[in-house]
Amino acid sequence: MRRIKKSLKNRRSQSLPTQNDEIKNKEHLTGNLKENIQKVKEETGNSDDIIVREIRTGKERKLNAALIYTDGLIDNRSIQDFILESLMFDIQDIETDKKPSSKENQLQQLKDSVLAVGDLKDITDYNTLFTSLLSGHVILLLDGYTQGFAIGMKGGKVRGVSEATTESTVRGPKEAYSESLRTNTSLLRRKVNDRNLWLETKKIGTVTKTDVSIAYIKNIANDKVVEEVRQRLDRIEIDGILETGYIEELIQDETYTPFPTIFTTERPDVTAANLLEGRIAIFVDGAPHCLIVPALFVQFFQTADDYYQRADIVTLLRILRFIGFFIALLGPSLYIAITTFHQEMLPTPLLINLAAQREGVPFPAFIEALLMEVTFEILREAGVRMPRTIGQAVSIVGTLVIGTAAVDAGIVSAAMVIVVAITAISSFIVSSFNLSISVRMLRFVFMGLAASFGLFGISIGLLALTLHLCSLRSFGVPYMSPLAPFNMEGQKDVLIRFPRWALFSRPRLINQKNLKREDVSSPKPESQKRK
């Protein structure tokens, strides 16, 4: 595995910028304003969205300066109110004195007394200049100075906070992440209003230079896991990061597995709840989702509603999700195995009824199920890719028409249509979309085992699947915990969700410190006191 990753890394490095290019980009600014402006225009190909605004400032307007920014990434009104007016009317004492000590004092005066902005960074080389310019900063260059300033004025059109689409809830917050990194982190800050919530941001991608942030609660998260996340992100060598899926594939523990080992969410409240358990969140600028690590298998069966409803209601819904998971995984394969190899397991009237239905069907049960499953997957994918106004209607009508026509034509039996329909509906009950896709993939494998060896093949497949799940890890944490290794304390939030007052401890394998959510001796509800 390491050799494969190393070879892929070498292939990626062939298309990355060379060392000479990096040295070239790290050239220092010159003291000539015209040369600096010309350099910026040449390196950006005289792009129309790179705006250069030259002005004269200082005492008696003797000092030439230039503002350089990317149109669409900054707030134009803020430039007018906080930069241009300050430079052209408030500044009076900066002169073009060539003494080094005097020039340093003038720059310091400019920072302290003139520029009324909060985000202000020094720039001394072209590499920093271009990174800041294309990230939404305003660049201020002065004639005769080898140092400039990057002023934070990010703005432009971004999608606002909207309702969650893939993780809808009946009760609880409705807000979801957007494509703006700072909007997403601010939504998380509103949920976790604590100074121990730390955010670390780094740029990944030699071309896109995408901001990637990791968030964790300092006194709860495992320091070793945090350091592991940092190291895996630092090892990424790629030209661009456009979505969280790029990061997920590059930092996951196991590549060859159909199961997701990193949890994905679009809800700030779900992120906050996971951080309070000791996990780490990874945000990518431009992505309306965040990644949660480490991830556990049982975590994909939990929803935000589970913690906003009563414990007895949640327990029933979780049992339904696990039942739906096994129906979606084994429904067609059990039908194939029983009707092909184990007819004696069926009651005689039902067996006679099924035999009468299949009398005119020319295909064996496996081919019959395969045709129906592939047809349904085509319709489901078509419904997703079609325009939203007609996609859902086409998928539903197409399924009904094709199913009815297939039965009337004698291609498939009515019982097979029922089995495939129940299996498809059960796949939607799994709360995680990533896990649902894994089930859809494995369903065909179990259908082949059932057609070849019957229930014995299904048993062998389940055994291999269990061994594979137990071998997986997510950032060093066993994927099947707290089921394997078994942890009695962790069973309070797996199949059965205990009342809130009983969930006073965090997951032990994820969190190695600050295990208690609350003091065990804290007051219990009056009903528990009476008991």
Which pLDDT score is estimated for 19?
40
What CA–CA distance (Å, rounded) separates 483 from 527? Answer: 31
Long-range contacts of 101-105 (CB under 8 A, 24+ apart): 103/144, 103/145
pLDDT tens digits, residue range 123-144? 888 888 888 888 888 888 888 8
What residue ranges of the chain have pLDDT lower than 50?
Answer: 1-25, 93, 95-98, 100-101, 519-522, 530-531
Structural tokens at position 519 = 């003091």
Q: Are 394 and 387 in contact (CB under 8 A)?
A: no
Which pLDDT score is estimated for 259?
93
Domain boundaries, the chain: 28-152, 181-295, 321-478
pTM: 0.82
Q: Which of 328, 322, 345 is nearest to 446 (CA)?
A: 328
Which pLDDT score is estimated for 171?
85
pLDDT tens digits, residue range 358-417? 887 888 889 989 988 888 888 888 777 777 666 666 666 666 677 778 887 888 888 888
Q: Is the peptide bond before 268 cis (omega within 30 degrees of 0)?
A: no
Which pLDDT score is estimated for 67?
87
With a CB cutoff of 8 Å and minimum separation 6, the contacts of 282 are 212, 213, 214, 215, 229, 233, 244, 247, 290, 291, 292, 293
Which pLDDT score is estimated for 480?
92
The gap between the terminal CA atoms of the chain, to the nearest Å, is: 56
